[in-house]
Structure 1
Amino acid sequence: MKLCRRSASLALGLAAALMLSGCWSSNEIDRLSVLTGVALDRNESENAASEGRLAVTIQILTAGASEPNSSQGKSTAKPYVNLIATGNSVFEAIREMSLRTDKPPIGHHLKAIVVSADLAKRNSLEHLLDFFMRDNDIRPGSLVFVSSGQANRVFELKRGEEIPSFHMAGITENRYRTSKILPPTTLGKIKGDVKADASLLLPNIIAQDGKLRLSGAGVIRGKTKKLVGLLSEEEVLGVVWATGSGKGGVLSTIDPSTRRPVVYEVDSMNSAIRSFVSGDRVSFSVSIRSIGRIMENWSKPDESSEQRFLDRQARLFERKISDLVERTIEKLQRDCKADVLGFRDRLRIEHPRDWERFKSNWDERFAQADIKVDVRIRIEDYGLVVE
């Protein structure tokens, strides 16, 4: 009996030891390079023919990221390092970096992928992002940007203690403060759009004097999956209003009666798109509704609480939004010939049979569609006004 008890205790002890031993196939974190950002540029060196067409920059965290200086309370070194390699494919270039570091990069914490506009004009976005979509280590929530300049420049900041790829992700979270920021464009969303041949927008990130700034957006046409144009910050504002995707923000206009500015703060906005088909002609209506408040008035502050004044300002903002949305749609139809506003989805839902007829050359159909815009603003608040 005692022998049986000893055998059972020994078996339980061995089992516990095995369970507490951890993952024997794991790698220690200090033996890995945590990949936080990737930038894709054209290789413009004289040896591009032999080196490869792509210049790939990866941003990895360094040990200095967690070693504060005891006297100043700041990091003693930049918390990141940028490595550049060339190749004819992204995967090839990243593996090329194994010749320079003893710590293999892991993509579990990849925050941002930045593609240069020059590269996106010449290559399909589906091809450029194919590696990231296939790699199991990379999460579909990684953000994707385009850069009208050289992509790897956005990975260098003047303030050395900041990590550029983290900073980019942080900027996109300011949508409740401004309507000039698009909803996050993730790797997972892009994967669905490119498979459906849908046009899409990529936020344009640029570096100015060592600082990052979101400046408009790049337009990717669904059929070719290549960059066909860039939208300005005002045109991105037009996209946000047309789609009702804003979380907040401000809008200013000039009161023609006083020639002084009035500022409207958005509390809510929404947009409803309807589609209409007549033979081979397609048309749409865009109904935009918003509720907000007057947050700044350079005219006569004592009038701010008068309903007549509020109604007049609402009409001014309605005209401004309508003009802004119409100009943006005109550019998308005339210059880009790319539907990035979701009209195709509304047509597919409301007229599925007609969509089957039009979907093979939808971008061309979109460019010829008649689109009417209707805007209604309701000002419900005028702040704390002292008479």
Structure 2
Amino acid sequence: MIKYARRILLVLSSLLLVIITGCWSGNEIEDLTIYIGLGLDTVKESQFEKEANKQGAHYPKENVLTVTIQIVPPVSGKKGGEGGGSSSSDSDKAYLNKRLTGDSVIQILRQFSLQRDRPVVGHHLKVIVVAKELAQKYSLEQLFDFILRDNDIRPSCLVVVSHGSAEEALSSNEPGEIPAVYLMGLVGNRHRSSAILPPMTLVKLDSDMQSGASFLLQNIVTAEGEHEFSGAAIIKGDTKKWVGELTQYDIEGLSWIKGNVVGGALKTYAPKEGYTITYELRNSKATIIPKVSGDDISFHIDVESEGRLIEDWSFPEIPSSTEYIQELEDQFEEEVRKQIRQVLHKMQNVYRVDVGGFDQQMKIKYPKHWKKLQRNWDETFSRAPVTFDVSMRITDFGSSTD
């Protein structure tokens, strides 16, 4: 009995040693350089690179792109701009941006090891910003090849496009602000604005590129060190390159089509006086109905929404007239129709791409037809008639002092 108990004790002790053993391959965070933002730009050598190259620091490469990494927290004694050195303005920042130029993303990241005394790792990468100009020249499959292969980078990382340079999108004049974290926070405001797209993560980007369908990436504009989500970049399905942009107004129209409006306001003007009236969305739904008749394909969209009259400059009190409410609903419906017409025109006539989810509905309802049309779907969609009905219902009028 005693021998049996000893054996049990030995086995349990061995199991405990295995369970409580720490990660023997791990590194202390203090021994690493953590970057949480990654920017991909057209070539822009830093002053450090230019000076270093004069001193023989050049290695065999073509200057194809510039990679910016956003490091947090900035290491004491290493704060500075693009390639070394420091400034009083940089010393107050909660992050450090470093950039290098080359023709291989992985090689550029490894090249930082020649400058940093701690390994550069992307385990906590939050945002990848791609400059529009670079995405026009190279496909996202090329630019993201290493990133999608690297198992150190989280698949939940956000991907966006910058109208200007990616480095500027990862910079800020606000004390204590970390741009990569700030951009992630903007995505969380979808319940406040229908102009914010559902987040495009790395895993979703990979899926969209594999599907061969055209898709959108949220666009960022930067001015005076401040940033704003403004419209979206269109990525063509067959080339995986930037081909155009949709405005904020277009994205609002597209949100009605796709039925993914989770919040926001719709502004238009009263029919008679022309004063501002605003509708606050409470819920909405949209249904895309594909129709096939022989070789002819068409679509019909049903859009329904309920909300409140949240602002009315022409009628400061709660309106009691049913006729007046109907007039406002008609006015809001016409504004939604205008948004939908505009974005449909851009999709079908300007860029000739389907980024509205019409392909998904075709695939679900007519799978056999879809297999035949899939290869040239963007062209097929651009020729398909699209009709739509819109129904807006005002259910309440906000708070009142009455």
Q: One fold, TM greater than 0.5?
A: yes
Q: Does 1:53 align with 2:64?
A: yes
Q: Does 1:124 align with 2:139?
A: yes
1:174 corresponding residue in structure 2:
189
1:194 corresponding residue in structure 2:
209
- Count the aligned residue pairs: 378
Counterpart contact for 1:289–1:377, Cα < 8 Å: yes
Looking at structure 2, the residues matched to 140 and 330 of structure 1 have their Cα atoms a distance apart, in angstroms, of 34
Counterpart contact for 1:180–1:236, Cα < 8 Å: yes
Deviations along 1:226-281, whole A, 9 cap, x unmatched?
11101111111111111111111001111121211111000011110010122332
Counterpart contact for 1:221–1:337, Cα < 8 Å: no
Looking at structure 1, the residues matched to 304 and 400 of structure 2 have their Cα atoms a distance apart, in angstroms, of 26
Looking at structure 2, the residues matched to 188 and 11 of structure 1 have their Cα atoms a distance apart, in angstroms, of 42
Instruction: After TM superposition, give the deviation of residue 12 of structure 1 in Å.
Output: 7.7
Looking at structure 2, the residues matched to 101 and 380 of structure 1 have their Cα atoms a distance apart, in angstroms, of 60
Cα distance 1:5–1:302, how it changes in 2: closer, same or farther (>3 A)?
closer
Counterpart contact for 1:248–1:267, Cα < 8 Å: yes
Looking at structure 2, the residues matched to 132 and 167 of structure 1 have their Cα atoms a distance apart, in angstroms, of 22
Q: Does 1:367 align with 2:398?
A: no
Deviations along 1:174-196, whole A, 9 cap, x unmatched?
01111111111111111111101
Looking at structure 1, the residues matched to 6 and 292 of structure 2 have their Cα atoms a distance apart, in angstroms, of 83
2:34 corresponding residue in structure 1:
34
1:274 corresponding residue in structure 2:
289
Counterpart contact for 2:125–2:157, Cα < 8 Å: yes
Cα distance 1:19–1:267, how it changes in 2: closer, same or farther (>3 A)?
closer
Residue type of the partner of 2:178? I
Within the candidate set 245, 251, 265, 1:250 is matched to 265
Counterpart contact for 1:326–1:373, Cα < 8 Å: no
Q: Does 1:263 align with 2:271?
A: no
Helix, strand or coil at the partner of 1:175? coil
Counterpart contact for 1:221–1:227, Cα < 8 Å: yes
Residue type of the partner of 2:361? R
1:332 corresponding residue in structure 2:
347
Looking at structure 2, the residues matched to 88 and 63 of structure 1 have their Cα atoms a distance apart, in angstroms, of 26
1:293-308 maps to which residues of 2 (within 5 A)? Answer: 293-302=308-317, 304-308=319-323
Instruction: After TM superposition, give the deviation of residue 333 of structure 1 in Å.
Output: 1.2
Counterpart contact for 1:268–1:291, Cα < 8 Å: yes
**Percent identity between the two aligned chains:** 39
Deviations along 1:112-155, whole A, 9 cap, x unmatched?
00100011111111221122211111121111000110111011
Looking at structure 2, the residues matched to 228 and 241 of structure 1 have their Cα atoms a distance apart, in angstroms, of 23
Deviations along 1:145-168, whole A, 9 cap, x unmatched?
001101110111011301100000
Looking at structure 2, the residues matched to 6 and 151 of structure 1 have their Cα atoms a distance apart, in angstroms, of 64
Counterpart contact for 2:112–2:120, Cα < 8 Å: no
Residue type of the partner of 2:377? W
Within the candidate set 118, 123, 130, 1:103 is matched to 118
Counterpart contact for 1:200–1:222, Cα < 8 Å: yes
Looking at structure 2, the residues matched to 340 and 260 of structure 1 have their Cα atoms a distance apart, in angstroms, of 34
Counterpart contact for 2:289–2:300, Cα < 8 Å: yes
Q: Does 1:321 align with 2:352?
A: no
Instruction: After TM superposition, give the deviation of residue 301 of structure 1 in Å.
Output: 2.7
Q: Does 1:150 align with 2:165?
A: yes
Instruction: After TM superposition, give the deviation of residue 33 of structure 1 in Å.
Output: 1.6
TM superposition score normalised by structure 2: 0.87
TM superposition score normalised by structure 1: 0.90
Residue type of the partner of 1:56? V
Cα distance 1:29–1:280, how it changes in 2: closer, same or farther (>3 A)?
same
Question: What's the Cα RMSD here?
Answer: 2.7
Residue type of the partner of 1:128? L
Structure 2: gaps of 5 or more residues: 77-89
Instruction: After TM superposition, give the deviation of residue 51 of structure 1 in Å.
Output: 4.3
Looking at structure 1, the residues matched to 294 and 329 of structure 2 have their Cα atoms a distance apart, in angstroms, of 38
Looking at structure 2, the residues matched to 278 and 356 of structure 1 have their Cα atoms a distance apart, in angstroms, of 16
Looking at structure 2, the residues matched to 7 and 311 of structure 1 have their Cα atoms a distance apart, in angstroms, of 83
Residue type of the partner of 1:33? T
Looking at structure 2, the residues matched to 218 and 101 of structure 1 have their Cα atoms a distance apart, in angstroms, of 34
Counterpart contact for 1:220–1:338, Cα < 8 Å: no
Cα distance 1:257–1:2, how it changes in 2: closer, same or farther (>3 A)?
closer
